[in-house]
Structures are given as structure tokens and as C-alpha cells.
Structure 1
Amino acid sequence: MLFRLYKISNPPAPKSGGVDPQERLNFGCLGAARITPGCIVEPARTHPSVVLYAVAARDAKRAEEFAKEHGFSKSFGGTAAYQDLIDDPEVDVVYNALPNALHFEWTMKALKGGKHVLLEKPATNTAAEAAQIFALAERKNLVVLEAFHSRFHPAIQRVKAIVDSKELGEIKHVSASLTAPTGTAAPKGDIRWNYELGGGSAMDPGCYTVNALRYLTSSNPTAVLSAKAVPYSSRPEHKQVDKILWATLSFGHDITGDIYTNLDEPKYFGVIPRMPKLFVTVQCEKGTVELFNYVVPSYYHYITVSPTGGRRRTEKAYTFKGAEKGEAWWTTYRYQMEAFVDKIQGRTPQTWIEPQDTIDNMKWIEAIYEKDGFGSLPSSKYIHQ
């Protein structure tokens, strides 16, 4: 584990020999977001085809400092920064890490500008917006990927393989949780507490839990049986911003699923931070399989298989057996980067998230919000022409 963690922090230089210069992809990042170093910068260090080309931010100083710190060649700042980056003919790929409410507008503009897009999750505020994005991408023959990085890692895929093998019989129930201690993922004043920017627990950790249930059951829900959300505060601007969410979904055939998310889990005795809840569990007819840390399993995880009346075993999966690509220290983002570049360059990626998968995930997040009474988040006012 220590060796793997060391390699994650100190990755080897990529093997650039044999890479056609025409295959190099210049990445431009919209927003100097906290997630960008992990999602783009670090994976780029070990991918010979990825070039950290530009970053854009409204604050010109912030953009310049971010570019210098992380090795981007160019920065754009000011009110026109995002469009300036898209208009740069040297940019091949746009990474959209802007607040959720801006995903639709700036992904559509990037596609209009002829750029492939790696789009942070959740893709949009509504399923209808996600459908428009992929319709335009298809017309323009461009690649858009919603960045559900955990789906690209061997750990969650191993759990699915165990479930699909029917070793434990048919699925009966699936549950997923994702929480964050107070002030960590969403400190006071964070965009995750802003309704107009697409904030809320169901939109942030919730999108992971819904996706995990849909992935492991290989199906979409048939109904939201129950949903309960707790608003961030009693202030009027937070009445539709959930900090805690519980929901129970039906997947038909007597299969149910539970999700629990909390962006503001209080400290023990007001001082001791709680450990995040990062479990996904599949209960089957003949036993259960559970994955700890399904979100970022590259750092550490374990898979526990518990057959009814049988011997429990623990597995770990950091690489794909027999695969030509992948190292035990590859992060979820590095596996995702490999797939994204493969898709752009016409190769078949090991894993892919299809457009309908993204659209359906947003559809059921909206359905949960409808059930709990919060209602869908506001649609973008941007109109594509």
C-alpha cells in the first residue's frame, strides 16, 4: 500500500517514444477548480498523448497562478476567459469543471467550437440538458464523457463481475452511501450550497450513489419508493438545497436499492471528524458482496464476499488481470484518462459510459428530487443556436 501511495504521489514519467505528434491532445480547462489537479494534471503526467495546454478563470491572476503551479503553457483570464479558451485553435479537448449550473452552456459552446469534452459529474442540472449535449456531440462527431472516474477502476468492475456471475444468486437489494464530514467537501459558502449553481447533496455525492446502484443492477429504477431530504439551513435560499438525503428505489423483480448521502456530517462531540461512509453493498439470494471505498479505490479498498453458510473472503483489485494497460498505482482518474483518450483516437476503451447512461442518471436524480418535494434544479437559460 505504501509503495502504491508513493507512486500515486510520484508517478514515473510517461514513455513518449513512438507517440505520433499528431496524436497529442492539448487539454484546456474551464475553471481553476480544486478537482482539476487530481482529475487532469496528475493523470497527464503519465499519459504521453496528453498535453496540459491552457486554463481559464474569471480571475486572471488566479488563472495565471494556477497555470504556473500545475504546468499549463497558457492561461486566460477575465469575463471572456472561457470563450477565449474555446476559441483557441490549439485546444483539442475542454475539461469542464465549472459549477453544475454552467455545465450545459459551456459544454454546448465547446462542442460548437469543435472541441471534445470531459465533463464533470453531474453532467447537467436536468436530463433534458444532457440529451441536448449528446445530440450535438453526435452531430459534430465529437466525444463527450461524464467523468464518473470510479467506474473505470478494476475494483467496482470486480464487484459487478461477482454479482453478474450469479455466484451469490440473484440480486435482492443494493445500497450505497457517500458522506463527508462538516466543512471538508463543502465548507461554508461553497458552491455546493448554492441552488442557482446546482448545489445539493443529491447532485454531488448523490450522483455517485445513484450511478453505483444503476451500474451494479445493470438496470434503471422503475420507481422512487421514498425520498427524504434535509435542507442545508432554515434560510429561504437553502430551502431547496439538501445537505442530507435518503432514498429507496425499486428496480423491479423484487429488487430494491437504498442511497444515503450527507455533505455535512457533524463531528463527534463537536470536535472529532467522522470517517466518510464509502460503502456499496449488494445483497443477493445466497450472500452479500461489499466494496469499501468505491469512489476512490485506488488509494485503498477491499471487497468482502460473504456467501450464506460459507467462508467469507476478501479481495482487492487494482489492475485488470491480463490487461495490457494499467498499473496498481493508477488512480481512477488515470484509468478514466486512458479510456477518454482511446475513444478520441478511435480505439476501443476498456470501459465507457454511454450517453444514455448519463441521461438516465440525471433522470433519476430529478425523480428523487421530485419525490422529496425539493423539485428539480433550475434549467440553464442558455439557448444553443
Structure 2
Amino acid sequence: MFGLLSRLYYMSNPPKTHQAQANSPLKTLNFGCLGAAKIAPGVLIDPSPRDAKRAKKFAEEHGFQKSYGGDTGYQDMIDDPEVDVIYNPLPNLHFEWTMKALNGGKHVLLEKPATDRAEEAAQIFSLAASKNLVVLEAFHYRFHPAIQRVKAILESKELGAIKNITVALTAPAGTAKDGDIRWSYELGGGSTMDPGCYTVNVLRYLASSSSPTAVLTAFAVPYSPRPQHKKVDKMFPATLALENGIFGELHSNLSEPKLFGIIPRIPKLTATVRCESGTVEIFNFLIPSYYHYITVAPSGKPRRVEKSYSFHGVAKGEDWWTTYRFQMEAFVDKIQGRTPQTWLEPQDTIDNMKWIEEIYAKDGFGSRPPSKYVYREDEK
């Protein structure tokens, strides 16, 4: 309890960091945030219209030095020579505005899922490579010591070869209310795209070099029987085959019904890996910085519970650092030419979107609509 309270205190009241030294060869990076998304304060300090007043208010509340409003606000930010990095949390506008940001010479921290189609993700990273710019899909949990500890246990072969991986991520009914962008097909909505993209990513990460080979089953449940929601899933279970005989089970739900119609269910935030000689399970892989536990159960031996909030001096970080803080440190290291503690390679992002599309193909809902934006090299 003391550890939890201490982490919560420092998350809300982080110690002041040292300013960059005047003689440092590294340039201080200036970040720009496209839109006033609710997630932005946690990641960078709901997508919004390009409203000058709201942009100014958001800037004042969260310490931004400038705001950009009006119909040209997003492009004005990209064109600002003082901005080095763009954070893009815009719904269904990831592809368009990431391409425009890269074209404007900016690095990009891109919310997940990176795009609505794997081919769009490939275009993003191709352009970034041609311009020597950094793009990172913001799967923040991957940068925290907790999930990395689970992977280390698996790679140690203490439990033998992996046989089965089960990942579940759910949210209680009402988390995304009717009219929320996550229920819009045109805006890339659906459970598979939201919590589901995490389950696919966790499965692939823990399976390591054993990549998926096929979607065996997928059964999506529509959000609503109304016609406008017929291709938007509120829940899906799926099973995947992976190399080396591994079997994967995924479950995602954006609207888990209440018990007896009145009691909200506790979200499922678990990943369980069954191996030849035991199992390992992590509770709360999504936001482990608040609280998590890793249960290791070797066959024929006593089970143990581990927790991992920092890298214990092996790499930078404090027990109270959030997943977003670990992610930001890695992102900045990459831009500055340093080696980050861990990283998501471009192919990782492309493959994650590929398998999301494969799941949608299997359940009959189909991929989300492609962006109408077409990149041109001579675009200004």
C-alpha cells in the first residue's frame, strides 16, 4: 500500500528535472500536439475541431507555449520551424497528418493503432526512412519493466517452450458512450481497433520470434443492431495459430455488460502464457505503473509473485515512472541518436495492423475504410 501511495504521489507531483546544459551538443526538442485529445496530457504533458479558443485554453492548462487554431491550425503547427516533433492522437487522421508532418520534416509520436490499413503504415515508415525521421507507434506498455520482465522469464526457458498465450482486455459498458468516435466505422471504430490492437500486440510480443500464421476463428459481436453500426464490433474473441505450434487466444470488449444489469465489471487486463513446464501471468499489462503483479507457477514447484516497476539501475527509470514516461525517454533517445532501452520497429507496427485486418477478414466485418488522403512528394 505504501508503494502504491508513493507512486501515485510522484506521478502527480514529479520531481523537477534538470535543464539541459548550455554546452550540450543535443538540441532541446519542441513538441507540438495535433488536437486537444484527452490522452495528450498523460502522453505528452478527445480529438477536437481546429478551434482557436479551445487550442489556446488547452495550451494554457498544460503548459504549451503556443496554440494553433482555425482551419489551417494543424498545418500551421507543422510549418512552424520551432516545432521538432509532432504528437498525433487524431482519430482516423493518423495517416494523413503523419504523412504531412513527415513531409514537413517533423518526427512523429503516433497513437495506436497507427493507421486503419497495414499498407498505410508501410507508407508512413517508408517516407520516414527517406527523410531520416523517427516515427513511433505509442504502445506505451512495451516500454515498462513489467511486460519486459514477463518476456525475460519466457526467454530464460525456466518454464520451457511456449504452448499457449491468452490475452484479454475489456472495458465496462458505458466507457465509450453512444456517439463516441470508437463506435464510428468511418473513423476506424471497433473493439478490434481499440483494446483489440493491444491484445494482438501483446500476443505477438510475448510469442517473440514465433509470428502468427493464420487466424483460426474470429467472431465479432456488433455494437448495435442499427445499420450504421453493422461493421463496428463491441466485442470479439479470436484464435490464432503461430509458428512453433503456439496457439493464441484473444478477447477484447469495449462494452462488457454489467452484472445483474447494475454492477460494473472489473476490466480484464491479463496475459497468461502456458508453457511446457508451467505458466506465467501478468495482471494489468496495460498500465502497470499503478499496480500489477506477475505470477510464475513452475510445474511441481512453489508459485511466486513478482513485481517490476523499474530496471533497478540497469537502465534509467524510477518506480513511479508511468508507461508514458518510459516511452517518452525511449522516443527522445532515438531522435537524439542514443540507443533507447527498447524500441518498436516499423515492421512491428505494420505486422500488427496486418493481423488486425486478418481478424476483421475472418469475422466478416472487413478492414476499416482507407484514408482518402493521397500523399504527393511536391505537397506543401
Indicate the TM-score class for this superposition, using the shorter chain for normalisation: over 0.9
Question: For residue 41 of structure 2, what is the aligned residue in structure 1?
Answer: 37
Match of 1:236 among 205, 227, 245: 227
Q: How far apart are 1:253 and its partner, in Å?
A: 2.3
Say yes or no: does 1:279 pair with 2:282: no
**Aligned counterpart, 1:365:** 356
TM-align CA RMSD = 1.3
Q: 1:149 to 1:93 in 2, by over 3 A?
A: same
Superposed, 1:1-385 pairs within 5 Å as 1-16=4-19, 18=21, 20=24, 22-41=26-45, 57-99=49-91, 101-184=92-175, 186-218=176-208, 219-385=210-376
- Provide the rounded CA distance (Å) in 1 between the counterparts of 2:265 and 2:14: 31
**Deviates further, 123-132 or 266-275:** 266-275
Separation in structure 2 between the aligned mates of residue 33 and residue 238 of structure 1, nearest angstrom: 24
Gaps of 5+ in 2: none
Distance 1:254 1:139 in 2: 38
Cα offset for 1:323?
2.1
1:332 Cα deviation after fit: 0.3
Once the two structures are overlaid, the 10-residue window that deviates more, 224-233 or 18-27, is: 18-27
TM superposition shift of 1:77: 1.3
Q: One-letter code of the match for 1:84?
A: D
Greater CA drift, 83-92 or 334-343: 83-92
Distance 1:321 1:371, change over 3 A: same
Following the alignment from structure 1 to structure 2, what is the Cα–Cα distance between the partners of residues 21 and 2? 38
Contact 1:56 1:77 in 2 (8 A): no
CA–CA distance in structure 2, aligned partners of residues 91 and 17 of structure 1: 18
Q: Is the 8 A contact 2:272 2:279 kept in 1?
A: yes
Instruction: Give the superposition deviation at 1:114.
Output: 0.2
Q: Show CA shifts across 1:251-296 (max 9, x none).
A: 0322100010000112222222111000000000011000000010
Distance across 1 between alignment mates of 2:293 and 2:369: 39
- Are residues 56 and 368 of structure 1, via their aligned partners in 2, closer, same or farther at CA, if it must alter by over 3 Å? closer
Distance of 1:135 and 1:17 partners within structure 2: 32
**Total equivalences in the alignment:** 370
TM-score by length of 1: 0.94
Query: What amino acid does structure 1 have at the position aligned with 2:131?
Result: K
CA contact (8 A) 2:26 2:336 kept: no
Unaligned runs of 5+ in 1: 42-54
Higher alpha-carbon deviation: 208-217 or 175-184: 175-184
The whole-number CA distance in structure 1 between the counterparts of 2:130 and 2:82 is 22
Report the TM-score when normalising by structure 2. 0.95
Once the two structures are TM-superposed, the CA of residue 86 in structure 1 deviates from its matched residue by 0.7
Q: Which amino acid aligns with 1:361?
A: N
Cα distance change, pair 382–37 in 1 and its aligned pair in 2 (3 A): same
Change (3 A) 1:361 1:324: closer
Secondary structure of the residue aligned to 1:18 is coil
Amino acid at match of 1:277: K
Contact 1:160–1:216 at 8 Å: present in 2 too?
yes
